[in-house]
């Protein structure tokens, strides 16, 4: 716990915290402004739940922007050590390399969890606010579909696992922040361009885009990438851990 707290303190004077907050606000604010700019276009039909269309837009935004955030936040966290050339100092401390490896993994997932929590909180508050500002949109007439959001998060969490561990591995192996960001963003671009390819489930960076236009009825179909992603996640965490603890010298 002390090691995690020490890692968290390193972010105090970096762009990471501002990136987490501003990134989580971006899509909700854009959606709020878009709905208000043309309310008539978004007024649903009779007995149509406005949250359905709103959440498709919200969760699609999550698919696109959160993966970019993940690549950036991993790069920023690892770049703290790279920039200060501090790896060798860390390795001289009375700490196992394994504990250093996992302290950064825990920090990365903590930042991702904070981002998702803020993103969904701001998105839901944005929808509720729209219901007050423009009652004709009908948000106040229906409950927030929390179970739908929860199911999406489970699937999306599984989708990002291999990407997180692979990007973490690349980030501490590639000393240049630009190189690690380029590799990650390049992988995401390829994944997006090939998202309809029949073998796309075998490309780690493409899995998050399989959650686009998510509906509860799609959940069984989306489970097709669960097994490959689980295998990739175990493979990448094992290989990166072995590399970090046995070969990596900073």
Domain count, the chain: 1
**Model confidence band, residue 68 (pLDDT cutoffs 50, 70, 90):** very high
Alpha-carbon span 169 to 57, nearest angstrom: 32
How many Cα atoms within 13 Å fall on the side-chain side of residue 169?
20
pTM: 0.90
For residue 223, pLDDT over 70 is answered with: no
pLDDT at residue 228, rounded to an integer: 86
Q: What's CA 109's distance to the chain center, in Å?
A: 9
Spatial distance between the Cα atoms of 127 and 55, rounded to a whole number of angstroms: 9
List own/partner pairs for 192-200 with CB under 8 A and 24 or more apart: none
pLDDT digits (tens, 9 = 90+) for 155-208: 899 999 999 999 999 999 988 889 999 999 998 999 888 877 877 778 888 888
Distance, in Å, from the CA atom of 129 to the CA atom of 192, rounded to the nearest integer, reads 32
CA dihedral 73, 75, 12, 82 (to 10 degrees): 170
Asked whether 194 and 203 are in contact (CB, 8 A), the reply is yes
Quote the pLDDT of residue 170.
94
Q: Can you give the three-state secondary structure of 141-185, one letter per residue?
A: HCCCCHHHHHHHHHHHHHHHHHHHHHHHHHHHHCCCHHHHHHHHH
CA 41/CA 55 separation, integer angstroms? 16
Task: Give the chain's mean pLDDT.
Answer: 88
Query: What is the pLDDT, as a whole number, of residue 14?
Result: 79
Range of the domain at 79: 2-247
* 54: pLDDT strictly greater than 90: yes
Could you read off the pLDDT of 93-151 as tens digits, one per residue? 888 999 999 999 999 999 999 999 999 999 999 999 999 999 999 888 889 998 889 99
Q: Per-residue pLDDT averaged across 45-72, rounded?
A: 91
């Amino acid at each position: 716990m002390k090691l995690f707290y020490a890692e968290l303190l390193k972010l105090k004077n970096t762009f990471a915290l501002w990136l987490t907050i501003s990134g989580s606000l971006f899509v909700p604010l854009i959606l709020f402004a878009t709905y208000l700019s043309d309310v008539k276009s978004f007024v649903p039909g009779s007995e149509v739940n406005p949250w359905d269309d709103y959440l498709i837009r919200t969760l699609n935004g999550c698919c696109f922007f959160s993966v970019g955030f993940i690549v950036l936040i991993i790069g920023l966290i690892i770049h703290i050590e790279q920039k200060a050339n501090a790896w060798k100092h860390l390795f001289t401390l009375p700490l196992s390399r394994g504990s250093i490896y996992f302290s950064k993994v825990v920090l990365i997932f903590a930042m991702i969890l904070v981002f998702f929590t803020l993103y969904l909180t701001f998105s839901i508050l944005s929808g509720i606010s729209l219901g007050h500002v423009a009652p004709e949109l009908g948000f106040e007439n229906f409950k927030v579909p929390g179970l739908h959001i929860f199911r999406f998060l489970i699937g999306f969490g599984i989708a990002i696992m291999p990407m997180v561990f692979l990007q973490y591995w690349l980030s501490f192996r590639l000393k240049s922040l630009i190189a690690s960001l380029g590799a990650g963003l390049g992988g995401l671009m390829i994944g997006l361009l090939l998202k309809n390819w029949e073998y796309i489930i075998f490309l780690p960076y493409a899995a998050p885009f399989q959650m686009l236009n998510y509906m509860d009825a799609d959940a069984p179909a989306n489970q097709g990438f669960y097994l490959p992603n689980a295998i990739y996640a175990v493979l990448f965490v094992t290989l990166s851990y072995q590399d970090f603890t046995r070969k990596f010298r900073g």
